[in-house]
Structure formats: C-alpha cells, structure tokens
Amino acid sequence: MTEVIVWSGWVGGLAVGAYALFQFAMSGKHLGVSTGFGNFCSYISKLSFFHKGDYEQPNNWRLWFIIGLPLGGLLAALTSPGEIALSFSLGAMYDQVLPQALWAKGAILLIGGVMIGYGARVAGGCTSGHAIAGLSLLNWPSLLAAAGFFAGGIVAVQLLFGF
Amino acid sequence: MKKYIFLFFGILFGFILSRAGATTYDFYAKLFLFEDLQLLWVIATAAAVGMIGVAVLKNLKARSILDGQPLSFEGKPYTKSLIVGSLIFGLGWGFASACPGTALVMLGEGKLGALFTIIGIGLGTYLFGMRESRGHGA
C-alpha cells in the first residue's frame, strides 16, 4: 500500500479550511463532493432526478472537481518518499478484521459505498458539504448531520472491531 | 470557462486531503475507536478556519473573484430525513473507511479497494435517484 506523508491534524485542518475558503471566495461555490457522483449517473441514466435541478447541465464544476480529486491523490503519492504501490490492502487495522478474500472484502466496501452514496443524498450532503462547509456557515442542520455521521461511524467501527 | 478551473481545484483539494491523513484507512478506525483523533482535529480546525473566514467575507460583502457575483451564505436546509440519512452515511463511512471525496483521492494513490467504494457510492446515488424519480411520477 502506498505510504503518504501526513501532516499534524491541525495543520491538515488549516489547509482544508483555507482551501474551502479559497474555493468559495474564488467561485462562490461551497465545498461539496457527493452531489458530483450524480453527474456521472446523469450520463448513463434517463431517470428524471438526474436531469433536473443540480443535474440539468451535468458538465459543470462538480464534474471537473471530482475528476481532479484522484489526480490530487496521485500527486500526493508522487511527492511522498515511498513508491506508489497498487494494492487492495486497507492497512493494518482494517485488514485484520475484514475478510481476506477479495470478493468478500470488495462486497463490504461496495455495501459501505452504497450507504455512503445513498445516505449522503438523503442527508443532503457529505463530510465536505455538511461538516466543513456547513459548519463554517454555522448552519445548524449541518451540525446535526455531522453528529449523525460520527454516530454512524462509531457504531460501524465498534461493530467491525467487536467492542 | 469557470468549470475547467475546478479540475485544478480538485487536484489541490485531493492533495490536501491526502496530506491531512483523510486517505489513510487506519485513521478512520482509530477515530471511531477514540484511539487517535487526527481526523476530528482536521474537521474541527477546518470548520473553525471556515467560520472565521466566512464571517470576514460576509462583513466585507465580498463578491466572488472569478465572476463578481455576490456570495451566498445560505446553508443546506433541514429536512425530515436528514438525521436518518446522516446515520446511514456514517455507517458507510465507518465500514468503508472513506467518504465520497477521500475514496476518489485514495484511488489516485493506488489504494484499489476504493474502486469498490466508488462504485458503491455511484450505486447508492443512483438508488436515491430511482426513488426520487418514481416518487415524482417520472
């Protein structure tokens, strides 16, 4: 697994917060990622939901933003001292509790992903849109959502790691 | 065109997420087991910086630099399903040890497990779209 450089939490937080402000001041767009997954649905689906509102014109900033994210990951890996290692490993802790077989591990990640995608749309945003952008705006529904994210995360990890 | 600039914005944000530790699986387990609060510090510091910055921009009545439009400070609305949705999201967050943004960044780092997570997020988004489209008689 690729080992990347990690800054202290507060330095990382400063950078994330500064980035979100930079994006907002530049473009007027609040930070947000999960809505962008629907842009891809818009290209392959005729469902009305993916052709109105946010998705009326799917070739928008959100599409380009989420295309940039993996490239940012590649850049981060290239500028870290270790080699880039293509791997299905999830690191020491998760590999210990998740099944070894790739299909079974993949199934858990897939189901986790479905919950992330579905839950984000039901909640109206994800960690970026609710927790970072929403809290910056002192938006109380976003605080509730952030609390719900953490509550769910605690339950999932406590279940996985068996209390 | 403004939208193409977001390719570079995405690269920058992806790089920062990685350096913040948000693409390191172990930090998710350690956060929710209360062993290492790295990612909580990231979110709390980011939100604090954001609150100060937003207050300043609001006070300046700032306009967006790229197109000169007035900035909107309106947050996402409360809905009846917000809490249920956030709990479902949180469960997925813990099981897959990623969120929508970091799953994409992980893939770029060569963490291939993120492929499953990304396909799942797309499927989950699609399921919601199916429900909504049906609900509104499409």
Contact B99 A48 (CB under 8 A): no
Read off the pLDDT of each residue in A66-78 and give the average, rounded to a whole number: 98
Could you tell me which of B100, B122, B136, B121 has the C-alpha nearest to residue A47? B136
Quote the radius of gyration of chain A (alpha carbons, Å).
Answer: 18
Share of chain A above pLDDT 90, in %: 98
Q: A 85-104 residues with CB below 8 A of B?
A: 85-94
Whole-angstrom distance, CA of residue B37 vs CA of residue A81: 25
Candidates A104, A120, A109, A107; CA nearest to A152 is: A120
Residue B138: both structure tokens together: 């499409």
Predicted confidence (pLDDT) per residue in A91-130, tens digit: 999 999 999 999 999 999 999 999 999 999 999 999 999 9
Distances (CA, A) of A89 to A130, A132, A133: 29, 28, 31
The predicted structure's pLDDT at residue B134: 85
3-state DSSP call for residue B12?
helix
Tens of pLDDT, residues B100-115: 999 999 999 999 999 9
A 22-81 near B (Cβ less than 8 A): 23-28, 31, 33-34, 36-38, 40-41, 45, 47-50, 59-77
Confidence band (pLDDT; 50, 70, 90) for B138? very low
ipTM for this model: 0.97
pTM score of the predicted model: 0.96
Binary contact (B95, A28; C-beta < 8 A): no
Q: Count of CB atoms within 10 A of residue B7's CB?
A: 18
CA distances from B34 to A154, A163, B37, B103 (A): 9, 12, 6, 22
Instruction: Answer yes or no: is pLDDT of B1 > 70.
Output: no
- B35 — contact with chain A (CB < 8 Å)? no
Distance CA A117, CA A122 (A): 9
**pLDDT at residue B137, as a whole number:** 47
Indicate the pLDDT class of residue B65, thresholds 50, 70 and 90.
very high
pLDDT above 60 (res B2): yes
Cβ <8 Å between A122 and B100? no
Of B50, B111, B112, the CB nearest to A21: B50
Q: Residue B25 — pLDDT band, cuts 50, 70, 90? A: very high
Q: Using a CB–CB cutoff of 8 Å, tell me whether B84 touches chain A.
A: yes
Q: Helix and strand tally (H, E) in chain A? A: 7, 0
Tokens of B40: 């909580």
- DSSP 3-state of B70: strand
Distances (CA, A) of B113 to A38, A112, B110: 21, 12, 9
Average pLDDT, chain B: 95
Asked if the model's pLDDT at residue A163 lies above 70, the reply is no
